[in-house]
Every structure is written in structure tokens, then in C-alpha cells.
Structure 1
Amino acid sequence: MRSLLIFVAYFGICFLPECFVSGLTFSTMQNQKAIQNKLLKEYKKSLRPIFNQDLPVTVDILFLFRKMHHYDVVSGLFEFTGGIRLSWRDFSLQWNPKDYGNATATRLPIDEVWIPNIGVRNPAEREEFMQIEIAGFSVEVTSKGVVHLRNSGLIKMMCQSDVTYYPFDSHTCSLVLAILNYNSNEVKFHTKTQVEESSDFKDNGQWNVTVLGSRISSAAVSVHLEIRRRPSFLVVNIFLPVIFILAMNTVVFLLPVESGERVSFSITGFLSFTVFITILTDQVPHQSNPLSILSSLFAFQLANSTMILICNVLVVNLYHRTSNINSSCLLAFVRLTRRNTRSKAPVLKIDPKVHPDSDCREPNDDNEFDNGFTWKDVASVFDKCFLFAFLSSTFVPIFVFILYVSHRF
């Protein structure tokens, strides 16, 4: 009995695996070697893979957008990782799966078979074309002769920037892929090619990229991408500080003249605003067409800040005057402005010697315009007028800009 068990165990170990292997239906390494030897034995990769050489080879192309690396708005350089999937039929790469263990696919080195060289027609470099690197890749070949090539890599291209609505700007770029080593009569793209985002697409913290679609011709495919800025960082770190500085410049007219700090306060605010304009200048393209609306707004606010500084100096000068007020127009303006704040306004004396048609009269020797108003009162009135005027000129354009760009964004 023991001898029988030993015999059965020996038979199972030695003979049963060989019996199962002989009945396998999947491909083995020997099958793959045989397929590759057969396909590459008399293969000529210099010939286009089509029986009738007068007809073009049809190539299906699929572009995948994987990851955005960098977009320089000033120079227009756009760097991203993209994938390209190509497929075509090669009548020389066919076999009968039944003769090779039912193997329906194999992989061949890319430098051993015919491939269409795909390049970027609008690259960032000075060359007219930039060939997409495919060294080290392999192609998948099916038993029916269909060849699949999957490739991905870093692509650099130029993208015309449009900063009209900066920092709420968006840019439309077109990546033009073309066949470099053949013309349209020899190789053509399939007209039903689609473009999509890759399933492993990685988002960018500064830009939001959207694939709009593609336009395909027989010799080239144009992939349209939309790059939209994420404005949160710039709004918090540039736009809001500028608004605070402009508000600080405006409220200088609430600061008492007696403090002696009004002029230095205005100069400090003016210089701070100038620094932020310099920062903005470094981040937008140095071009006039199109010109950023924010740049125009900041230029207007720079002129507005200059006027605030000049008016502040004027108010300080009026406040420290000690002479009499010799203009009836100025007195009438002060009385009109302060009539709601003074219970009893002094009555303006009218000189009968002055011509009745004259609005602004000069005082006589008796100083007839000395009616209780001082230059301090005049400075106070101008402070209120300038405060209202510059609050309007500062915040109304900003409010209009926010409404305009937010509606578009």
C-alpha cells in the first residue's frame, strides 16, 4: 500500500504538469518570439504600411491633457504634459493567432517598425517644428495588423496672452500637431479623432485648464485649450491692499492739520501705491494691445493720488494763512457750504461802490469782508469737499471694474 502511494505521488509530480501545459491556449514566450521573428524578418520600415502606395495611410490620433506645469503670461511660454495615442493599420504585421498559441497581440520596438513622426507646429523654441520624443517606447501590434502607439512627454509651446481682464483673465491656446516626415497625400489623420482630458489629470493651483475641443484636417490637428487664472491669490495679496492704500490716501482730509503729519501721510500712501503698481507691471505683458483694464485703473488712481497730495498741500497752506480773506466768491462758497452747520451765518456787507454786475469784488480800505470767517474755516470747508470728491473718484471706478469683470468671470 505504501509503495502504491509513492507511485501515485511520483506520477502526479512528474507527468501531470506536462499534460496540463500541453493543453494550454494562451501565448507563451516561445510564441511571442516566433511572432516577432516572423514579422520583422523581411520588414522594411522605410515603406509606408499600405499595399497601394498611391493611397495615404490613415492615422487615428487621440490627444490627452495630463498636467499643466507653467504658463508665463509675460513671455507666452506654456509648458504642460500631454499624451498622444496613435493607431494605424500595417498590412505587413499580420499573423494567424491559431498558429501561435492564440496570441492576438505582441509588442515591437519602436525603431523596428514604421511610425508617423508627430511634431508641434507652434513650439516655444526657435525651430519651425518640435518633434515629440518617442525614443524608448514600444508599439502594440494586434494579429490584424493594427498598430497602437502611446506616448507622453513635456510639451512647450507659445500661447498669445490676453490680460484685458487681469487678474480675471483667460487665454485660449491652440496646440497644432502635424506629421513631419510626410505630406497630406501620404499620411492623413482620421476625421473622427477626439480630444479629452486624461483620467489622471492633475490640477494646477494657479491656473484652471479646460480642453475646448479640436479641429482636424488631413495633415494637422489643432487642440484648443482654455487657460483661466485662479484670481484668489492676486485679489488677496495685490488688489485688496491697493484698495486699502487708496482708502488711506483719501481719509487724509480727516486728519487734523495741527498734527503736522498730513503731508508726510499723503507721501507715504503715494509711495506705497507706486510700489504695488511696480509689482503689477512685472506680472503683466509689456504690450499695449490689449492693455489691461486694471493697469488703466491703476494709472488713473496714481493720478488721483497725485491730486490728493497736491490738494492736501493746498489745504495746509490755506490753514496757516494769517491775512484777511479778500475774495467775496470764496466767502460765499464757505457760507454756502457751512450754512447747515452754523446757526447764525454772518451777513455779507455789500459795497455800493462796486458795480452791481460784478460777482467777485475786491475789499475797500475798511476791510468790509472781515465778517467772522478765517482761513481755518476755509481749510475746513475744502477738507470736506475734497474728501467727498476723492472718495467718489477713488471707489466709483473700482466698483465699476469689479462689477464688469465679475459679470464676465
Structure 2
Amino acid sequence: MKDRRMIGQLFAVIIFDYLCLFSEAYTINDELSLHTAIFNSTYDRDVRPGASRSTPLQIMVTFIFKSIKELDESVGKFSITGALGVFWVDHRLSWNPTDYGGDLNTTVVPQKKIWIPFLVNTMDFDTLKPIGHNELNLRVANDGKVTWITPNMFESTCDADMSFYPFDSQICTLRFYIQGFTLSEIVFAIPKSSMDMNEYSENGIWEVKETQIYIAINSQQIQEVRMTISMKRRPVYYISSLILPVIFLAFLQLFVFVMPPECGERVGFVTTVLLAIAVYLTLVQDKLPEGSEPSVSFLSYKLLGDFMIGVFMTISVIVGLRFYHREEETVIPDYLETFHRMLFRCCRCKRKHKVNFDEKKSATEVTIDSVSKILTWRDIGMAIDRFCLILFGIILVISNGVYLAVMCFYT
């Protein structure tokens, strides 16, 4: 049984070698001959392809999206990594495969040996430069179709709208055109209206919502290929490290009106919290662009509002402490008495009572007399603290509620 298996395997090897011997397969000499034939003295890489000069050369463009490198909102710089795919037909590079081993259908050619479209990124962040590199290779098919894949990092200017930062969405665009040719000589074609996302790597800050590739004519009547990327910022990090701390700091200031004035730390406490809010305001301003167009971030307005509320809290604390330390001989004005009476009546404060025990009466017989308390400057200070606590608490609830409602509605 074992001998039969060995004989069968040997027979299969002999058949395979026989088929390979008599089958047609191109060799390195065939490919060298092909390159010699197509790149002869008549081929000029400076002349665009096209047998009929009245018919424009059609160039198809695709894009393989790899990853988002960065979006620097402060300077308006957007960069991604990917590969630009460009396809066209050069009739001068066609051949008959039967003349070169029978199956030489494609060959690889250095970019510097053949004509390529001079693609330029018009939105380049730095200086304008052509796409591709002379050391790149292209693949040419026997029908003259050229496949040019250029991997690179593509940069572009992108004026971000930071109105809803950090709950914002951005749309950035790459724009390419072929320098030196008109619509009667070269036209673009888009085989796919979106980018190839099969090899895309997720970005930690931005979530890609949509990509689009389309053709447009600019104001100079030049045809362009435009590639737009719609992105949405992932806000979880900013909520935990920016939004919530700022909200907690704003409400932390309210407790300054609960602190006893005798501790002597009121002004220091409210000033420290105010400085912390100022630090967050500085951090946000460093992140956002300096310009005010198309709109300033609502978060900047919110932080500025919290800072101003903190300033007024600090002033209220200082003014309130002056009431606590006034001489008791100083007469309290009528308007302060009215303010105290209205505030505590609105707050439904219970009046104090005194229980008097009469020695002539039994222990079970007592009289409870209401005592009208004498108003002091300390009472005025406590009234002002309570008023400020309620007032600034309402203001903070409204300001933060409006901001969060606007952000939730937008997102």
C-alpha cells in the first residue's frame, strides 16, 4: 500500500514538470525586451498620452484612507495618511502578450520613466509640491492602463468652526488639480464617490462620520478633485477633564457663603477657586484659534461668565465681611432692616422662643413668651450671605443648564 502511494506521488511530480516544460511563461529576457520596445527613442515622458489630441485624457482618482494624523485647530492644520490612486491609459505602453512569453500581462515601471500627471494639492498647509516621488513604481498593463498608487501624508488647511467645542464636528477638504492642463486636454473621473476605509485605523480624538470624493470647477475654471472628511470629536475625555471640573469649581464657590466669618479664610478660599477657573479659561484659549471667525466657542463664553460670577462672589464676600465687623453702636438703616425682614420671612425662618419658669407655679405650669430679637450687624451679614447664596446658586444653575442644553441639542 505504501509503495503504491509513493508511485502515485512520483507520477504527479512528473506530470507537473511536464506541464511546466511545455507551458508558456515569460522570462526576464522577455520583460527586458518589452521595456526596450516600449521605452524606445520615440517615447517622450513630457508629452501627455492620447492618440487623438481632440479627445481629453481621462484620469480616474481614488483614495485609500489610512488614518488621521492630526487636526491642529489653533493654526488650522489638517493632516492624514493614505494612498492616492490614479489610473489612466497610455496607448504608447501597450503590447501583445503573445510576443513576450505568452503571459506577460503587466510589468512594473519606475515613476521617473513614464509620463505622470503633475498633481498638486492646492490646500497644502506648507508650500505647494507635486504628489509622488521619483523612486515610486507604477504598474502598467498590456492594454496601456497605468496604475499609480502614491502613499504619503497629505496636509491641508482646515478652518475649524469651534463654536460647539468640545462637542464639535468638522469638515476638512483636500483639493487636487493637474497643473498646466485645461479641460480640453485632461478630465477627471471618479469611480467611487467615497474613500476606501478598509484599512482605516480609528483615531482617539476624531470619529469619521462620512467621506466624499467629487469633481468641482473652481473660480479659475480649473477642474479639481475634492475629498472631504466629516469628523465628530469624541467628547468623553473633555467632559471628564474640562467640563465637569469647571462646573464643580463654579458650585464650590457657593460654599464660601456657608463658611463662618470667624475662620478668616473666606477671601482666600473664593480667590483660590477664582484662580482655578482662570487657569481653565487660559487652557481653553490656548487650544482654540485666535481668530473670532466663524465663531468663538460657547465654552469660552461660559468660562468667561463663570469667571465674572466668581469676581462678583469675591466682591460680595468682602462686602459681607464688613457688615460682620461693624460696631454695634452704629445704627442699622431702615432699608437693611426691611431687607433682613423680607429675606427671612421668605425663607420662613422660625422665631426663637424663651421658656420662663415661675417659682410660684408648679413644674408642669410654664409660660412661653415670644422674644423679639434685637437686630444686629451680624444678622445683616448673615442675611447678605443667604441672599448671595440663593442668588449666585440660581445664576450658576441657569448658566450651566443653558450651556448643557445647547450642547445636548447640538449633539
Per the shorter chain, which TM-score range? 0.7 to 0.9
- The Cα of 1:81 is off from its aligned counterpart by 0.9
- The Cα of 1:29 is off from its aligned counterpart by 2.3
Partner of 1:196, secondary structure, is: coil
Partner of 2:159, secondary structure, is: coil
Q: Deviations over 1:220-263 (max 9, x none)?
A: 11111123222222222222221121111111101111111111
Q: What residue in structure 1 maps to residue 301 of structure 2?
A: 296
Write out aligned runs for 1:7-406 (5 A). Answer: 20-41=19-40, 42-100=42-100, 101-125=102-126, 127=127, 129-217=128-216, 219-289=223-293, 290-322=295-327, 323-339=329-345, 340-343=348-351, 372-406=374-408
> 1:105–1:95: structure 2 CA closer, same or farther, 3 Å change rule?
same
Partner of 1:202, secondary structure, is: coil
RMSD: 2.2
Q: Which amino acid aligns with 2:196?
A: E
Provide the rounded CA distance (Å) in 2 between the counterparts of 1:105 and 1:175. 31
Provide the rounded CA distance (Å) in 2 between the counterparts of 1:191 and 1:83. 15
TM-score (norm 2): 0.84
Unaligned runs of 5+ in 1: 1-11, 346-369
> 1:191–1:199: structure 2 CA closer, same or farther, 3 Å change rule?
closer
Structure 1, 156-165 or 176-185: larger mean CA deviation: 176-185
Unaligned runs of 5+ in 2: 1-10, 218-222, 354-371
Q: What residue in structure 2 maps to residue 355 of structure 1?
A: none
Alpha carbons 1:325, 1:375 under 8 Å: kept: no
Percent identity, aligned pairs only?
Answer: 25
Alpha carbons 1:87, 1:149 under 8 Å: kept: yes
Q: Deviations over 1:32-80 (max 9, x none)?
A: 2222222112422222211112321100111222111121100001121
Aligned residue pairs: how many?
370
Alpha carbons 1:193, 1:216 under 8 Å: kept: no
Structure 1, 159-168 or 178-187: larger mean CA deviation: 178-187
Partner of 2:253, secondary structure, is: helix
- The Cα of 1:110 is off from its aligned counterpart by 1.3
> 1:217–1:274: structure 2 CA closer, same or farther, 3 Å change rule?
closer
- The Cα of 1:311 is off from its aligned counterpart by 0.5
Provide the rounded CA distance (Å) in 2 between the counterparts of 1:272 and 1:308. 14
Q: Deviations over 1:293-346 (max 9, x none)?
A: 11111111111100000001111111111234432222122122223213369x
- The Cα of 1:164 is off from its aligned counterpart by 0.3
Partner of 1:241, secondary structure, is: helix
Partner of 1:195, secondary structure, is: coil
- The Cα of 1:17 is off from its aligned counterpart by 8.9
Alpha carbons 1:93, 1:141 under 8 Å: kept: yes
> 1:18–1:314: structure 2 CA closer, same or farther, 3 Å change rule?
closer
Provide the rounded CA distance (Å) in 2 between the counterparts of 1:193 and 1:132. 20
Partner of 1:130, secondary structure, is: coil
Q: Deviations over 1:347-381 (max 9, x none)?
A: xxxxxxxxxxxxxxxxxxxxxxx971111111111
Provide the rounded CA distance (Å) in 1 between the counterparts of 2:279 and 2:46. 62
- The Cα of 1:91 is off from its aligned counterpart by 1.1
Q: Which amino acid aligns with 2:94?
A: Q
- The Cα of 1:90 is off from its aligned counterpart by 1.2
> 1:232–1:18: structure 2 CA closer, same or farther, 3 Å change rule?
closer
- The Cα of 1:193 is off from its aligned counterpart by 4.5
